[in-house]
Every structure is written in structure tokens, then in C-alpha cells.
Chains A and B, each alone.
Chain A
């Protein structure tokens, strides 16, 4: 007997309920902590813990003389940090703060329900900061304590431990999963936002359209995926996996920059061999679309610029896929126009005298053989005692002189920059190209994963008759940078977390992320429209989606109702056996009448079949004993009774 009196509306909730609510709030805090200011996160955590302890020790609400100053403090702190309390970051910070403050006054069931609802909303808002699969799964797990809190509010339930209290929520979510996926696929997407689109993220580390020393350091240690490429045929060999992003011409002695806004058509190119492939780009908040060297066409919503850079019409804020065709062996711009030649030779005056001197010396030695000078430059970098490191010594005003003759250590951008300056000094048109190089070939998923740490910079020199030719000075220093990738080049400077097997595991795990990005994050209105193409429906409009939702929801509700209404029928063997006997007798015309008891019926049957009177009387006795002697008929006599009924053959009635 378990019964409990109903707590009144204003009674304080149980300790278990409050524990679960605190856990929910803790989860919310946990998923938000990485984009809250650290001091705010720490303060809220302390506040949460203090409130939990206080209620456990003393119970009751926190005095309003503490609550209101805290509220004021929170608002001021957020307004002071972000400059406003509106917008995504300050809004969520305020929301999380308010949720924690709500706990201070939470006592009744109603307070708890409000808290849970608010926590669900706060959990969802965490996904506005990132849609990675792990984040989503963690946030979804945050629903468990929320659901458990709601359950704990119900009166009279079997007592459980705290972890067991979370389990039914998991079951509920699992049972809800099919309906979830259905709704997810069929909910009509908005073609344009109802109100302001989210403000773009603060500058993320990524390739930028200018390059100055040290720019890449952060990028080269960022292991997050940048793009994934699947090829129509075999992938190109590793030494051809150069992905062009920006081409930089302008050098001011320190930084390289793109030439902006020249409206010239793409430079002419003679492609010898080409390859087509599909790129899925992670959100970069930039307009640049990396492409395998050298792209021949532009996808929709993007344009091909003079130097065969691909620039999208708007910044990439969600994973973006495009199909391209690129030349692997080519003659790019075989005829160099005067403007390009001038741009490609321009150097800021008064910088790097020693480099100029070296270039002049080479020019005198090799005469007009540009290719020989390029080879000499690469040889210098290969044999001149240069070292590849991500933490080079700082360079002075004459950066290239410093690098080539003093420090002799650096990474791709130092090499590319110095080599380009060296070539220009020798009178060879040269430019810096940034992008990605290498990547990990995922055998399982058949695609190339390029990480941000695969960012690279190299040089292109223009040689008469051959056009722009790629010269990778980093490859001269560290050939494995090109053949094995960035990780191999860094060598021993990698931390323990970069150990090979871990890296391998991460590379394999990436296939799941790719699937997530394609199937979930990238499931947009366009994909949705193409959803039913395999079933012969060309275009899926909103009305059709509505009908589909209605039909399939009905289907699911039917399934659910079937489950809800299903009841286990109790199987009564004795009754079934009697039915068998009744059927046998009915064939001889002795039909059991309505309301006729078994004893009376079998007695009537015995009278009608005098030859079998004894058998029927025995069956009747057996039945009555089995039915009424005990609650449950014992198994052995029951079997005997069944056998007897099976063997019974009603003789013909003598009329």
C-alpha cells in the first residue's frame, strides 16, 4: 500500500526535485560555459552551489535583500562586458544568469516548472553557438535532468536513486526519436529569415586575405576541420593536393595583401589534365572558397576572380557544398600582360638590401635563365641550414634579410614570403598564394579531410612559356610537409595529445562529423525539396510537406495508440479446452445454450449420448475440479484433461 497525501500548491518541493533542478541548471551552465566570460561562469557556478547547499541545510527562499542586488549586479555586469543586454552573447549570458537566480526563489512546484521550461530554452540557445554533433548530443542529454525534474514533481511514486531517476527520461527520448526525425525532415524550412539573421561570429581563426609574420601560428595548431573533399575519380597524389584560397601581390615590407576589386576576367589557362570533385566547407565566416589548384569554373553564388580565386557572394556561415572542376597540370596565363608583370615585380623600396644583392649576384651568374634562378633559390633554402619551426625568432625591419641570413627558422609563411621577395629582386614575377595543402585521406568515407592546421602558403613564379609555376619553398626545407602533411613537419613540437594513434582516431571519427554536417546541419530547404525525388515527386512544396506531416503523424499516433491500448490477454487454457469439447459436441447437434453452465451442459450431453455417458461424466467432474478446486488449475491434471478432450470422439446420435 503506497499512498500519499497530495502536497498543496504552495508546499515546498522535495529535496530530490530540487537536486534534479540544480543538476539541470548545472547542465545549462556547462553547455554555456565556453562562451560566457570565465568570471561570470565561475560566479554563477558558486551561486548555484551555494543555493543548493543553503536549501539542503536550512530550506526556504533566499531573502529578497540578497536576490535583487544580485539581479542588478548581473545585469550591470553583462551590460558592462558586452555593452548591451541584447544580442546573442549578452542575451544568453543574461538568460543563464537569470536561470541561476530563479533557483534562489524556487520553492513550489510552479517555480520548478517555470525553471525547467526556461532551462529547456537555455539549452537550445547553446546550439546557436555551434552545431557540432557532440555539442548537440550533450545538449540533448541536458534534457534528461529536466525531464526527471518534471517527473519528480508528481506525487506518489516508487522511490529511486538519482541516476535511476534519469533513466526513464532517456527511454522517453529514445521512444520519441522516430517522431523527432520525421518532424525534423518534414518541418517546412523558411526560405528567408523572419527577423534579422544572426550576427556573424567574431573573427574565427582561419585563412585571411592578408599575411603577416605570425599570422599562421594560431591556424597551424587548430585541429578543427576546414573542408572535406570527395573526388569523382581517384584522388590526386599528395604532392598535388594544393588548395588555393588567396593570391597575394602587394607587399609592404611586412605583410602581403590581395589586390582588391580588379574587375578583370579570369586569367587564361590551358588545362592539360583536370579533375572534378565536391567540396564541403565548414563555416568560415568568410567569402573565400578554397579550390584545388587551379579551379576552372565557379559554382552558383560565387565568382571566379582574375587569379582564379573563388569568392562567394556572401560569407559562409553554415556548411557549404559546391562542385568544381580543376586543372592539375596547366599553363596559367602563358602571356603575362604589362600590368601583371609590374605587380609581380613590385617591391617596397629601401628594404632587404642583402637579398637584393644576392639576387643580383644570381642574375649575373645565370643570365636570362629564370628557371635556374628559381632552382638556386630552392637549393639555398634546402641546403642553407634552414629549420622548420612554429616558434621562430622574431624578425627585424628587413624581415627577409633577417630570415635568410640570420635566424633561418620559420614556417611556410616565412619561406613563401622570403622566397617571393628573393625572386622579385631577381626580376622574376612572383606572388604568394595561401590555402591548404595535404589533408587526410579517409579510406572509409572516401574523402579527403583538410584541417585548419593544413593551412599553407607557397609561391608562384612566372616563367616564360610555362606561365605561373608553383614553387613551394617549404617543401625544399621540409619535403615531408608536402608529402605527409603539416603534422609530420612540426615534428617533436607536437604535444602529447597529437600522438599518432589519437590523431588516427580523430581522423576516423571525422567521418561521423561529416555525416552529421551533411545530413543534419546541411539539411536545408533545397535538400528538403529534393527529398522526394527518389519517389518520383519532383518538387516538394510547403503544402505537400504539410500533407506529409499530417499523414505520417497520423501513422505515428496510430502506432503510439496501439501501444497505449495494447493489453496482455490472459490465456486461459482450461477455457480453451472446454471450447474444443463444445465444438466436438456441437457437431453432433448438442450446442451449449446461452447461460448454460458447464455442469448442466455436459449432463445434457451425457443424456444425449448414452454410449459415452461415463466419459462425459468424468470430463465434467475433471473440469469442475480443475476450475473450482484451486485458484490456478494445477498443470499435470490440466494436461491430462486436455489429452482426454483431444481423444474424445463424439459418437453419432441415435435418433
Chain B
């Protein structure tokens, strides 16, 4: 039954473009307004209407005006709730859509920024198979996190998402389709195991520990510390003697990662290996550079450099 309904819905979308006109991609911001908000009673709403009909007939049959008044009150409240439902979506604005970094195969977390001039409750967002709900406080922006499954690296368009609500009574369901013209960049998946990059061996051995010039910390005096390292001024306020400790940032090995050196592999395997190396370099805080066909990233380090490199990998054809 469910499958049949889904097929029917797909057919309807194909045949009746007007109903899903806004499936076309739009640029942000997208504001919901009356021409793109649809509203129908829910199953419970239909059931409740039938119940009210029974109550109406009963009240009329027994010529019981008080019961009739109550039934009318309930009916009018239900109808009024329809307007509230509509108003819960009307004027809602999807201002921004940001994506976190994600590796292919893992869900990417999207952050939707909704702007609203008034308070809203129970607004739900469906994206693919994930659902979430949020309440907007009234002034300003509400950020909604929703995760989107990813399959492969590269630019992945954000699918259309449905914003809907059954607030306040669950009798009516208003919805609107949003299809923001936005894509998220999915990073390649790193291979699980593989060889280490060809290390510049000589350079690695040369590193030795020695005292540097930069003041790193103060520590208690130990026998044998040179006298000129004692911090006299600070020690005056302290029980024992304090000694200035000097250190020199340890030089890290630098990895020059190169596409051309990975011969004998297809391009996806090369990308996977480079991704792993990049990850390891970042974790071990090495400096690294990356050469890719058509793109060369110079030596650097730090998270931003890592992001640039991964983005470059993800964008490879």
C-alpha cells in the first residue's frame, strides 16, 4: 500500500509539475509564502471531522442546543487551527545553508539557518530520510542541524527538503518544498591501510633536542642549573628558586605528497591514499605540501591547510 502510494506520488510529481513547481532549484534565501504552502487535513483531522459530524447529528436529533453550541465551538476551533497551521509556516525564511566537513560514506551535517519574525513551534524538516523538528523563538535566526547521507566524494547537491508542520492540534498538515541551489563538498574516503609516504630519511635523523632561546616555562631549581637561568625577580615572591626553562620548537619532518609518485594505481586509489597521508600528516602535525594534476598546494601546516588540501582532493575530476 505504502509503495503504491509512493509510486502514485512520483507519478503525480512527474505529471503535475505545477504542484511541485518549487522543486526547481532556487537560490537562497527562500521565503515561504502563501503560493508555495500547501495544506491538507491529516488522517486524524479527517477522523476528528467525522466525530464532529456525529456529534452534530446527535445534537440536532435530540434538539439539544447546548450540545450543538459545543459542537459548533469545537468545529470552529478546528477550522481556526487550520489558519494557525498555515501561519506557522508563512513568512519562514531559509537564510543560509552551511555544511560541515564529511567523508564519503558518512553523513554530512547540514546547518540550516531559518529566519523568523515571530515565534513558531513544531516546524519539522525532512531531508531525504532524516527528520528533525525545531521551534523558532521569534526574533532572529534559528539553526537547525540535519544530517545528509553521502556516497562518494565531490560536490553533492543538497536534495530538496520539505518543511512541514501540524501545529497546533495535528488536524492539518501544511508543507512546502524547498530546493536550495546549494551543494556540499564531500571529502574522499581515506584508504584504511597502506604504505607510509616516502620519508625524507636523512632529514628525520638530524633532529636533536637542544635548548632554545624562547622562554617556555618556569620550574623549580634543580642542582646544576646555570645561575644565569634563575629568575631572581619571580623567585623573590616564591619559597624556592625558580629557573627559566628555554625550549626551541621541535622541527617536524615535512611531507611532500605527490600525485605523480603513486604510479600503478587508478586515480580513486591514489586519492584514497593521499587522503590517508593527509590525515596522518595532520594528526602527527607534520608540515606537508600536495601536488595534484592542475593544482599545486605549497608547503604548509594547520587545519586550514588540511582543509584546502582535502577540498582539492575532493574536487578532482
B143 near A: Cβ within 8 Å? Answer: yes
In the complex where A147-B77, A172-B80, A183-B72 touch, is A190 in contact with B63 (Cβ < 8 A)? yes
Most buried by B among A123, A179, A187, A564: A564
A394 near B: Cβ within 8 Å? Answer: no
Give the chain A neighbours of B60 by CB distance below 8 A: 187, 189-190
Q: Are B142 and A2 in contact (CB under 8 A)?
A: yes
A547–B60 CA distance with the chains assembled, in angstroms: 19
Among B48, B133, B143, B169, which residue has its beta carbon within 8 angstroms of that of A151? B169
Among B51, B58, B123, B168, which residue has its beta carbon within 8 angstroms of that of A117? B51
Kindly supply a per-residue 1/0 record for chain A positions 24-59, scoring 1 wherever the CB is within 8 Å of any chain B CB and 0 otherwise. Answer: 000000000000000000000000000000000000
Give the chain A neighbours of B79 by CB distance below 8 A: 176, 179, 560
Which residue of chain A is the closest to B121 with respect to CB atoms?
A157
In the complex where A150-B168, A154-B122 touch, is A117 in contact with B86 (Cβ < 8 A)? no
Q: Are A113 and B170 in contact (CB under 8 A)?
A: yes
Most buried by B among A3, A193, A522: A3
Which residue of chain A is the closest to B48 with respect to CB atoms?
A117
Among B61, B77, B87, B135, which residue has its beta carbon within 8 angstroms of that of A195? B61
Residues of B103-149 contacting chain A, CB below 8 A: 117, 119, 121-124, 131-137, 142-145
Kindly supply a per-residue 1/0 record for chain B positions 161-181, scoring 1 wherever the CB is within 8 Å of any chain A CB and 0 otherwise. Answer: 000001111110000000000
Residues of B59-77 contacting chain A, CB below 8 A: 59-77
CB distance from A627 to the nearest CB of B (A): 20
Q: Are B61 and A175 in contact (CB under 8 A)?
A: no
A128–B168 CA distance with the chains assembled, in angstroms: 30
CB distance from B100 to the nearest CB of A (A): 15
B218 near A: Cβ within 8 Å? Answer: no
Among A143, A157, A183, which residue has its beta carbon within 8 angstroms of that of B135? A157
Kindly supply a per-residue 1/0 record for chain A positions 483-517, scoring 1 wherever the CB is within 8 Å of any chain B CB and 0 otherwise. Answer: 00000000000000000000000000000000000
Q: Are B77 and A131 in contact (CB under 8 A)?
A: no
Q: Are A124 and B58 in contact (CB under 8 A)?
A: yes
Give the chain A neighbours of B47 by CB distance below 8 A: 113, 117
In the complex where A121-B54, A121-B55 touch, is A158 in contact with B61 (Cβ < 8 A)? no
A177 near B: Cβ within 8 Å? Answer: yes
Interface size on B, residues (CB 8 A): 61
Q: Are A143 and B90 in contact (CB under 8 A)?
A: no
CB distance from B24 to the nearest CB of A (A): 24
Give the chain B neighbours of A123 by CB distance below 8 A: 70
Q: Are A172 and B133 in contact (CB under 8 A)?
A: no
Q: Are B133 and A140 in contact (CB under 8 A)?
A: no
B56 near A: Cβ within 8 Å? Answer: yes
A522–B66 CA distance with the chains assembled, in angstroms: 10
CB distance from A563 to the nearest CB of B (A): 7
A224 near B: Cβ within 8 Å? Answer: no
Give the chain A neighbours of B144 by CB distance below 8 A: 1, 3
Chain B contact residues, CB within 8 Å of chain A: 34, 44, 47-48, 51, 54-77, 79-81, 83-84, 86-87, 90-91, 117, 119, 121-124, 131-137, 142-145, 166-171
Q: Given contacts A6-B124, A127-B67, could you give 14 more A-B pairs where the C-beta distance is less than 8 Å?
A: A117-B51, A124-B67, A135-B66, A147-B77, A151-B168, A168-B168, A173-B73, A175-B80, A176-B73, A176-B76, A180-B76, A194-B57, A318-B63, A567-B90
Chain A contact residues, CB within 8 Å of chain B: 1-6, 113, 117, 120-121, 123-125, 127-128, 131, 135-136, 139-140, 143, 147, 150-151, 153-158, 168, 172-173, 175-177, 179-181, 183-184, 187, 189-190, 193-195, 197-198, 318, 520-524, 560-561, 563-565, 567-568
When A and B form their complex, which 7 residue pairs have the shortest distance between CB atoms, in order from nearest?
A: A176-B76, A154-B122, A131-B66, A156-B133, A179-B76, A3-B134, A157-B121
